[in-house]
Amino acid sequence: MALVWAVLLAAGLEGVSQSPDVAVAARSVRPGELVVLTLTEPADIDTVHVRVSDRDVPVFPAGAHTWRALVGIDLATPPGRYPMSIEGGAEGRAIRRRYELHVLPRTFATRQLRVDQAFVNPPADAQERIDREAADLRRLWSSITPARLWSEHFVRPVPGLVTSRFGSRSVFNGVPRPPHGGTDFSSPASTPVHAPAGGRAVLVRELYFSGNTVVIDHGQGLLSLLAHLSAFDIAEGDAVVAGQIIGRVGATGRVTGPHLHWAVHVTGARVDPLSVLALLGRDRP
């Protein structure tokens, strides 16, 4: 934690008032990373609001006089300084603090993949379906369930090694495509896939590109997508708990072989699932 705190200070997380106290945790302040703010206020306060640039960030209680906020730095965020504010209040008393979040540059690797040509240049009769599914996912990423639906630490959904890292620039059959918005884990077909944290299954169905897909809403704008499954063990609308089996590893959709693709969105920002595990995983506070 001392190393992370020193890096954040050097990166330019600068405050101008004295209340509340703010502790910051992150692997780094770069695109695709999760930043966890822990706010401590000596006196009781009724409300706390956190805003980064033009986006409100949900806040949840984390103990006596303590609040926590999860700030996602999207994969496509340009380097620069972004305004961040913390406001709150109680009876007749207001607190206010201003910061600048200094996002540093990040370079991502490029991966070359060979897949079925129908997943590079889809046939015309598939385009309506692709557009509809993309719109459905955008609605999910932009939605914020007010309640926090997870309470346990996050867990790794499968035990396999990482085979394709978050943010890799993807070239399919020689054609550049959008960057890799998740992390791929190598696992044999039919390996059980576990829910990374508690929540509600808001999508359980086959999608054109990601195959058999589960999206779990963990609440307060935090969602997980788990893709390319061979089978489902839950249904849309089900409540799930951390570690519950939700499906099986497969090779459905645009793949080169069996594996699990796990993507995480934090109030619309695409972040590396390994960053989430590092900050919210089983061995973390």
| Residues 130 and 89 both lie in one domain | no
Using one digit for the tens of pLDDT, what is the confidence trace for 139-153? 999 999 999 999 989
| Residues 39 and 145 both lie in one domain | no
pLDDT at residue number 6: 32
Question: For residue 285, is it within any domain?
Answer: no
| Residues 261 and 135 both lie in one domain | yes
| Residues 123 and 259 both lie in one domain | yes
Q: Provide, for the chain, the percentages of residues in helix, strand and coil under a 3-state DSSP scheme, each rounded to the nearest 5.
A: 15, 45, 40
- Tell me which of 85-99, 228-242, 243-257 is least confident: 85-99
Using one digit for the tens of pLDDT, what is the confidence trace for 47-73? 889 999 989 999 998 888 889 999 999
Residues β-bridged to residue 20: none
| Residues 202 and 140 both lie in one domain | yes
| Residues 26 and 159 both lie in one domain | no
Question: For residue 237, is it within any domain?
Answer: yes
| Residues 9 and 31 both lie in one domain | yes
| Residues 78 and 118 both lie in one domain | no
Domain termination site, one of 55, 73, 103: 103
Distance of CA 225 to the CA centre of its chain: 9
- Answer yes or no: are the C-beta atoms of 205 and 253 closer than 8 Å: no
- pTM for the full predicted model: 0.86
Q: What is the CATH number of the domain that holds 276?
A: 2.70.70.10
CA distance 211 to 229: 7
- Answer yes or no: are the C-beta atoms of 23 and 11 closer than 8 Å: no
Domain count, the chain: 2
| Residues 41 and 125 both lie in one domain | no
| Residues 214 and 94 both lie in one domain | no
Residue 127, domain extent: 110-280
**C-alpha distances out from residue 262 to 125, 159, 166, 197, 265, Å:** 28, 13, 9, 13, 10
pLDDT at residue number 5: 39
pLDDT at residue number 97: 85
| Residues 135 and 210 both lie in one domain | yes
Domain termination site, one of 54, 77, 103: 103
Question: For residue 161, is it within any domain?
Answer: yes
Question: For residue 12, is it within any domain?
Answer: yes
| Residues 40 and 148 both lie in one domain | no
Pairing of strands 34-40, 183-185: unpaired
CA distance 105 to 80: 8
Q: Which whole number is the average pLDDT over 148-173?
A: 83
Q: What is the CATH number of the domain that holds 46?
A: 2.60.40.10
Domain termination site, one of 72, 103, 134: 103
Question: For residue 201, is it within any domain?
Answer: yes
